[in-house]
Amino acid sequence: MKVLSPWSRICNLFEGTIFKVMMMGSTRVAELLLLHGADPNCADPATLTRPVHDAAREGFLDTLAVLHRAGARLDVRDAWGRLPVDLAEERGHRDVAQYLRMAAGGTESGSHARTDV
């Protein structure tokens, strides 16, 4: 039986906390939550958004990079079919969109990617 630290128990009980941190862009708090067991891929059951969606939408590149290094998937869609790169592009966060494209192998990877090659 795995014994969880008090921090891990808190993070597991309040997974929604990591979403709130993404909305505020606190990279250091995100690092602490991840260090103590928060799941970088936890999804909101109603919207299917993940912390990477929130960080991309708000333009928090440093926080997005922390999530990515912690194992967050960048290729997941929310309930509306949007990838994190789509949200970054919609909000004009070019640096975030560029990071997401580079992490995906340098290809156009959003829902709006060109198909007429």
pTM of the model: 0.75
Q: What is the pLDDT of residue 86?
A: 98
Pairwise pLDDT comparison (84 vs 107), residue with the higher score: 84
Give tens-digit pLDDT for 60-78.
999 999 999 999 999 999 9
Task: Give domain 6-103's CATH architecture.
Answer: Alpha Horseshoe (1.25)
Give the pLDDT band (50/70/90) at residue 99.
very high
Q: Tell me which residue of 21, 62, 64, 15 sits closest to 37, measured CA to CA.
A: 15
Give tens-digit pLDDT for 11-62.
444 455 665 666 567 888 888 888 888 889 988 888 899 999 999 999 999 9
Q: What is the pLDDT of residue 59?
A: 96
